[in-house]
Amino acid sequence: MVPIRDDNPITITPYVTYGLIALNVLVFLYEATLSGPNLESLFRTFGVVPDELSRSFDTGMGFPHVSEWGTLLSAEFLHAGFLHVAGNMLYLWVFGNNVEDQLGHLKFLLFYLVCGVLASLCQWYVAPNSPIPSLGASGAIAGVMGAYIFRFPEVRVLTFIPIFFTAFRVPALVFLGFWFVQQALYGFASLGVSADVGMNGGVAYWAHAGGFIFGAVLGYLLGLFNPEQGYEPAEDPLE
């Protein structure tokens, strides 16, 4: 299922969402200029390499490890291919603006970055000895989706379903709930198998599922689900 848009108006200009999309696209354009070995070096330097992160935790605090811990942030802006970045930015475009509208610009930025860090740590936890770089914005965006599903469960999402080659409007609870269950099932199926995103890697399902859960928890802690905050669904001119 592919989200096209949601019927959920906003009251602000979502500068942070736009900025995050622009930054991810610019970084990807830079990646496109690199040769294979240079691109792999970039991924290994700025992506989260689980076994290197494990060694940094084992040896304690110290300056040499600051850069390794910094990859928990830098990895959020790297992508392994066009479809990877395009899919992530589409989901951020559809769901990010409403969460930013509710939290405010600065709080949303912190929320997004923290969700990405926690999502990467979830993936590290299940595969701490993997040598394959883990990267992408999907963990942070999963956090946005986890907050969205509880804040706007009844909002309809115009969803393209390839098998029918048409689009339907489905509640966010259905769309995002199905996405989360899918990631969790794939995550359990991938236990014991390399499941990192990166050069010669797969999909970081545990980063997705973990980011989703942490997004819901952080959303609650930040007051996102305050019942006094409501929304009015946009009228659909096609109906």
What the chain holds in terms of domains, given with CATH numbers, is 2-221 (1.20.1540.10)
Distance CA 36, CA 132 (A): 15
CB atoms within 10 A of CB 151: 22
Distance CA 173, CA 118 (A): 23
pLDDT score recorded for residue 191? 64
pLDDT score recorded for residue 91? 95
pLDDT score recorded for residue 137? 93
Distance CA 134, CA 10 (A): 33
Which residues 6+ apart lie within 8 Å of 220 measured at CB?
150
Point out the residues of the chain with pLDDT beneath 50: 63, 194-201, 230-239
Distance CA 28, CA 49 (A): 19
pLDDT score recorded for residue 65? 57
| Contact yes or no for 107/58 (Cβ under 8 A) | no
What DSSP line would sit under 56-81, residue for residue?
Answer: HHHT-S-GGGHHHHHHHHHGGG--SS
pLDDT score recorded for residue 193? 52
pLDDT score recorded for residue 161? 83
Which of these, 97, 86, 82, 79, lies nearest to 5 by C-alpha position? Answer: 97
pLDDT tens, 53-98? 888 877 655 545 567 888 999 999 999 899 999 999 999 999 999 9
Half-sphere exposure of 209 toward its Cβ, with a 13 Å CA cutoff? 21
pLDDT score recorded for residue 166? 85
pLDDT score recorded for residue 139? 92
Q: What single letter denotes the amino acid at residue 231?
A: Y
pLDDT score recorded for residue 163? 76
pLDDT score recorded for residue 237? 37
Burial class (CB in 10 A: 0-12, 13-18, 19+), 131: middle
pLDDT score recorded for residue 143? 95
CB atoms within 10 A of CB 234: 14
Enter the pTM of the model. 0.85
Task: Characterize 202-227 residue by residue with b for buried, 16 or more Cβ atoms within 10 angstroms of its Cβ, and e for exposed.
Answer: ebbbbbbbbbbbbbbbbbeebebeee
pLDDT score recorded for residue 88? 94
Q: Which helix (H) or strand (E) holds 166?
A: strand 166-171
